[in-house]
Structure 1
């Protein structure tokens, strides 16, 4: 474990006060204690994710969305060419249980529905999103490594699909269980907002459903949907096609994501199982 570098430490100290590193993975983000209160420090070389995250968290605060609050930010690259943000800590844990907890999965969907009540028009800081994790070219990866027949059928289904249809709502943009915090089966907030933006709710709904299917099996996706629809008081639109969008927004081989999944407590999953579950989720969507 390592703490923030000297220049980052000086910046955090000047912005929020003297701190004691509590440890995190090398390179951050770091959890540090300031005057008995824990905060999170993130630093990176790319400006855009920090601009998006700060704008998203400020919007979340304005509408009472459960998320970290921004305590300090450097969007000018003053940290030796790096950018940084200091946020409050959302209580709870992001570790993902092995067993299928219906109440928790419904609560995940409900938390997203509460977020999606916020209607947002696109801005430079919170752009229009048509899928999750837009800065990664998953399409190229699928063309190189994915099952050709699945990709071809999926592309045919999505041909002409208006991904900008319906109300434009506040999107997290990378909504899976590892980016949510929990106390028991109650969701206390969402973290890691650097992919946020605005767009159809299906971007987040499909992402959550795909994640649930990968981590717990196909039936778990419908528990998430049930929670979203109960909280929203309406049916989610175009579920099958947003499921296809979400499935294609993952690596062709989910072994690429396995270290992150294992780090969230799911060391029981192997690449073959995770990929097979994602493919089953995609086939089910194509069959509807």
Structure 2
């Protein structure tokens, strides 16, 4: 069956039980891993999501341990996340690292125009995470930025950068990282990792960058994504939703906005395929670069005004 070995299929059917077999497989990210599975006969489990490890990724063992630990924390706090059905974190049974989980309602396709309700909903989702205190631990380590497993600064040094990105890096080096208690962070909170029914967020997925860190990581990550998808004013709607749900003003927003914008390469073409896969073929590297730079310039300007 498409993309799945017989060993993986046996592991899945054993986990589901009830004599069910995998009747259909659909790739959820650019036609590949993770996989949506449908079972027949539909008994205890009608459908599931299967995430498989990538042996080419030297960090995939840690990423899978993080995914599982994060889903457990999120589930314990009644966040809209999938329930774990089975895990194989050493690949002994499935032949590859594997996590099988329930299916959440909604979809992750990104509209070309977002309502204020949807933008504020993304902010409220980030606020729900910051309400969970979390001390760093092995599977949920300290995070100081989104997508912590990718060294964007090193890649920019190798592939080329811009004067604006260089100036932003230098500005951050002059500032201490904001102090404060650590909370539960998703670590890659953008519209493509959330599920929606209308303007209501029904789920948060892809937890392999999760950990403990500042609330600003997810807030500014969501703000930056909104600015990329819909333009600079959208970021302020995300902030409004966060502050309304959190019941307080967000702190150090400009600092974390700069951090979020630096989680990119000079050429924004690297993220175009994922955005097209999420239903936004109108976005190209040029437009994304313009929106990234506008967001970053605004954040740097606010840093100067605030004296940070």
Shift of 1:149: 2.0
The answer to whether residue 92 in structure 2 is matched with residue 93 in structure 1 is no
3-state DSSP of counterpart to 2:233 = helix
Shift of 1:157: 2.2
Residue 306 (structure 2) aligns with? none
Residue 13 (structure 1) aligns with? 13
**Are the structure 2 counterparts of residues 43 and 14 from structure 1 closer, same or farther at C-alpha, using a change threshold of 3 Å?**
same
The answer to whether residue 33 in structure 2 is matched with residue 28 in structure 1 is yes
| Equivalent residue runs for 1:45-194 within 5 Å | 45=55, 46-78=60-92, 82-163=96-177, 165-194=179-208
The answer to which of 78-87 and 68-77 deviates more is 78-87
Residue 280 (structure 1) aligns with? 294
Q: Distance in 2 between matches of 1:237 and 1:270?
A: 32
Residue 210 (structure 1) aligns with? 224
Shift of 1:156: 2.9
Q: Distance in 1 between matches of 2:38 and 2:254?
A: 45
Q: Distance in 2 between matches of 1:43 and 1:61?
A: 21
Shift of 1:77: 2.2
TM-score by length of 2: 0.89
Deviations 1:15-57 (A, max 9, x none): 1133322422554211112353210011113211110000000
Whether the 8 Å contact between 1:4 and 1:28 is mirrored in structure 2 is: no
Whether the 8 Å contact between 1:214 and 1:274 is mirrored in structure 2 is: yes
Q: Distance in 1 between matches of 2:64 and 2:237?
A: 33
Whether the 8 Å contact between 1:4 and 1:30 is mirrored in structure 2 is: no
Deviations 1:166-197 (A, max 9, x none): 12111000000000000000001100001000
The answer to whether residue 50 in structure 2 is matched with residue 38 in structure 1 is no
Whether the 8 Å contact between 1:53 and 1:192 is mirrored in structure 2 is: yes
Deviations 1:120-152 (A, max 9, x none): 101100001000111111002223445442133
**Are the structure 2 counterparts of residues 147 and 251 from structure 1 closer, same or farther at C-alpha, using a change threshold of 3 Å?**
closer
Aligned match for 1:258, one of 254, 261, 272: 272
Whether the 8 Å contact between 2:220 and 2:253 is mirrored in structure 1 is: yes
3-state DSSP of counterpart to 2:4 = coil
Whether the 8 Å contact between 2:169 and 2:262 is mirrored in structure 1 is: no
**Are the structure 2 counterparts of residues 32 and 280 from structure 1 closer, same or farther at C-alpha, using a change threshold of 3 Å?**
same
3-state DSSP of counterpart to 2:188 = coil
Q: Distance in 1 between matches of 2:223 and 2:92?
A: 40
Q: Distance in 1 between matches of 2:109 and 2:92?
A: 34
Residue 305 (structure 2) aligns with? none
Query: Paired residues, what number?
Result: 288
Deviations 1:94-145 (A, max 9, x none): 0001013111000110111012111110110000100011111100222344
TM-score by length of 1: 0.95
Q: Distance in 2 between matches of 1:111 and 1:162?
A: 27
